[in-house]
Amino acid sequence: MTASQVGKEEQLNLESLTWGNLTWVNIEGPTEQETEYLAQNYHFHSLDLDDCLSRIQRPKIDEYKDYLFLVFHFPVFSKEARVTTPSQLSVFIGKNYLITLHKGELKPLVKL
């Protein structure tokens, strides 16, 4: 199993982990730079990439020939404000990759 951080080399905020022929790419706080990288390297539908940058996208599953695109919302509790708000997780699943995009509010993904 290998892990690498691409951030400094290409000015992108992404981390990847490869095990066998499966690669997981995690993007915390995605920007247009990261979605452009995904468009060039994975050829995802442009509307899916736009959805990754939106904070108000509805949960959904979109099925394509080569990949699935999923949007989840998870509750995040703010101790300071004492309220629970939704946090979006966007996921691309392909034959040998898993790509996750989130704003950094989901503790299990941030700790990885």
Position 8 confidence tier, pLDDT thresholds 50, 70, 90: very low
Over residues 17-27, the pLDDT tens digits come to: 999 999 999 99
Cα–Cα distance, 63 to 93 (Å, whole number): 10
Residue pair 99/25 in contact (Cβ under 8 Å)? The answer is yes
What pTM was estimated for this model as a whole? 0.83
Find the Cα–Cα–Cα–Cα dihedral 33, 48, 88, 36, rounded to 10°. -10
Neighbouring C-alpha atoms within 13 Å toward the C-beta of 83: 4
Q: What domains does the chain contain, in order, with CATH numbers?
A: 2-111 (3.30.460.20)
